[in-house]
Amino acid sequence: RSLGTSCALPSVDASQTTAADVHRDFVSTGTPVLIRGGVYNSSWEALTNWRRDNLLAAAGDEDVAVATIPYAHVFGLRSQKASLREYVQYLDRVHSGRDGGGKHAGTRGGHDDARGGRGAHQAASSQPNELPPFYVFDGTLLSADGSSALREDVSVPFGFEDLAASFKAYPQFSLGPEGSGAPFHRHCPAVNGLVFGQKRWRLLTPERAFYTREPVFTASSKPVTDAIECTQAAGDVLFVPEGWGHEVLNEAESVAVAFEFDTGDC
């Protein structure tokens, strides 16, 4: 279900363009683009295989990285490991209003988020919307040398095959509830395919890009000068060129795969 699909970025319909057009007009020029329906053109088996029961049957016992922001350890924040099944149980508690962040019963060890302190987390069950929700952003689940069967369900999206032929692509699996996501950051060129859910992006040109470790749960409501907003619906692919700053907010529970390309310059 789409909650609204406005986008101030250039956008194209996957059914009305070609991979060569995408490479020429956007990849080679370093221009961000939303490709509507790009996941469907990429023939991802994830569209059927990653529905809840199928996903848990295939990878429920696989460990994933869980934190309030991606790569939390890089920013001095705590990241944890949980099985995918344990994390989905956490999502069930979020939906029922019993847990909105804080200590995830399925994770191994405690957790201190950007606001600091365990005391606030212990109150999460009585104040489910006060704390940033946990988010899975994991680079091992889909790795070529990993044990998960999920890697066969996705491929580099339509239009980015030439980029993948030139640079190694690192697939990253993400799953999170409404209010989770990634705060502003920048990196090598990347493309995000949304399997289920909806995301709201804010992008900044490279000269305005910055990093923050504040969870998007709170940061997304703050104005950012010259940010370009775009809503990504299920089935859409969004390309972020090298060096562009971007913030990603899940506006609904979302499952996605990002491919980051190692150009060696970022």
Q: What's the full length of the chain, in residues?
A: 266
Task: State the pLDDT confidence band at 98, using cuts at 50, 70 and 90.
Answer: low
Mean pLDDT is highest, among 72-86, 97-111, 121-135, for: 72-86
Q: Report the alpha-carbon distance of residue 114 to residue 70 in Å, rounded.
A: 13
Instruction: Please write the tens of the pLDDT for every residue from 217-244.
Output: 999 999 999 999 999 999 999 999 999 9
Q: Which two tokens stand for residue 154?
A: 């996705």
Instruction: Please write the tens of the pLDDT for every residue from 181-218.
Output: 999 999 999 999 999 999 999 999 999 999 999 999 99
Residue 47, pLDDT above cutoff 50: yes
Q: Report the alpha-carbon distance of residue 7 to residue 34 in Å, rounded.
A: 8
What are residue 194's DSSP bridge partners?
Answer: 256
pLDDT at site 265: 78
Residue 115, pLDDT above cutoff 50: no
Average model confidence (pLDDT) for the chain? 87
Q: How many CB atoms lie within 10 A of CB 242?
A: 15
Q: Report the alpha-carbon distance of residue 217 to residue 44 in Å, rounded.
A: 29
Task: State the pLDDT confidence band at 107, using cuts at 50, 70 and 90.
Answer: very low
The CA–CA distances, whole Å, from 44 to 41, 170, 194 equal: 8, 17, 11
pLDDT at site 46: 96
Mean pLDDT of 119-134: 47
Q: Report the alpha-carbon distance of residue 10 to residue 232 in Å, rounded.
A: 12
Domains belonging to the chain, first-starting first, are 11-43+140-149+157-262 (2.60.120.650), 52-136 (no CATH)
Residue 102, pLDDT above cutoff 50: no
| pLDDT top residue among 81 and 2 | 81
Helix (H) or strand (E) holding 203: strand 190-204
What are residue 64's DSSP bridge partners?
Answer: 82
Q: Report the alpha-carbon distance of residue 67 to residue 112 in Å, rounded.
A: 10
Helix (H) or strand (E) holding 184: strand 181-185
Q: How many CB atoms lie within 10 A of CB 11?
A: 15
**CB of 215 within 8 A of CB of 177?**
no
**CB hemisphere CA count around 65 (13 angstroms):** 19
The position carrying tokens 């992008």 is: 203
Q: Report the alpha-carbon distance of residue 183 to residue 77 in Å, rounded.
A: 13
**CB of 184 within 8 A of CB of 219?**
yes
